[in-house]
Amino acid sequence: MSLVIVGSMAFDGIETPFGKVDKIVGGAATYIGLCASYFTDNIGLVSVLGNDFDMGYLQLLQDKGIDIEGVEIKPSGKTFFWKGKYHNDLNTRDTLVTELNVLGEFDPKLPDNYKNADFVMLGNLSPGVQSSVIRQIVRKPKLIAMDTMNFWMDIAMGDLKETISMVDVLIINDEEARQLSGEYSLVKAARIIQEMGPRFLIIKKGEHGALLFGEHQVFFAPALPLEEVFDPTGAGDTFAGGFMGFLAKTKDISFENMKRAIIYGSAMASFCVEQFGTRRLEKLSLAEIDHRIGKFVELVRFDV
């Protein structure tokens, strides 16, 4: 398997200043997988669903070339549900409902042909679940990346640090980097976090772009200045999906290529926010992606 993605699949209820949906497919693994499918085949998804999930959506993922053998369906349970409302600036949101349902007992089992994955992306899950996945891998992957969130820093910092020590790339946002490190300066925070294990750290700053810290290098990718952000849900996961999908496609984990991967992740995230949920990501063309990449080049290119 080229890329194994582990994470939640969900139903989301979303309210933004521009509209509202009561129930739409979401979840980290969904966004990551859908986005990565534009770059590479041979993607395996590991997740858990209840009896209420939309089977048509699973078919859509398969039509994109995603293997779903790792997606367990629990006939007696319901799918994870999250509901949130964005504030007017779209940078902050209130979580209104979190029903873990089958995600609460998620105990991922990698199918045999996932255990030799070249690339592994661990979406935000409890650090214990994330590390249990790493332990099932039989051949060292080229790269393991993980996402996490402040919630796990609050209640399971020990487990979290152990899991972080097992991965190559940690992908978090600026607030999480500050909480994890105890440092306000992102440069200092990065050094402290990299000492926890990961060779690479990506700090996402939402509309302010993202920073990639390597062993002795830093790269900054802007976010595309957008006229309108319709729904930010899933933008971070989409970013991670573009990053990992591009690396899985190119099989090159040099810093130079990671820079490109971050630009691709940023471009994909800029699509994601244009419509509710995964809608925009379901129907992209490679020409649209290329054109958007061109916008990033224009945005930052200068000669001295």
Q: Residue numbers of the site for its own copies (CB under 8 A)?
A: 88-89, 184-188, 205, 208-209, 211, 217-222, 225-229, 256, 259-260, 263, 293, 297-300, 302-304
Cα 196 versus chain centre, distance? 21
CB of 260 to its own copies, least distance (A): 6
Integer Cα distance of 232 and 89 in angstroms: 11
CB-CB neighbours of 109 under 10 Å: 11
Choice between 23 and 205, CB closer to its own copies? 205
First to last CA, the chain: 43
Taking a C-beta distance cutoff of 8 angstroms, is the pair 44, 70 a contact?
yes
* Angle, in degrees to the nearest 10, between helices 235-250 and 255-272: 140
Burial class (CB in 10 A: 0-12, 13-18, 19+), 290: exposed
CB of 228 to its own copies, least distance (A): 6
DSSP H helices, the chain, are 28-36, 55-63, 127-136, 150-155, 157-164, 174-181, 186-195, 235-250, 255-272, 279-282, 286-300
CB of 225 to its own copies, least distance (A): 5
Integer Cα distance of 287 and 290 in angstroms: 5
Tell which residue, 212, 209, 207, has the closest CA to residue 194: 212
Choice between 45 and 201, CB closer to its own copies? 201
Instruction: Give the tokens for residue 211.
Output: 């920073």
Choice between 188 and 279, CB closer to its own copies? 188
Choice between 107 and 227, CB closer to its own copies? 227
Distances from the Cα of 242 to the Cα of 166, 248, 251, angstroms: 22, 10, 14
CB of 252 to its own copies, least distance (A): 12
CB of 143 to its own copies, least distance (A): 19
CB of 236 to its own copies, least distance (A): 17
Choice between 169 and 211, CB closer to its own copies? 211
CB of 204 to its own copies, least distance (A): 13
Choice between 20 and 295, CB closer to its own copies? 295
Choice between 115 and 188, CB closer to its own copies? 188
Helices (H) and strands (E) in the chain, counts: 11, 13
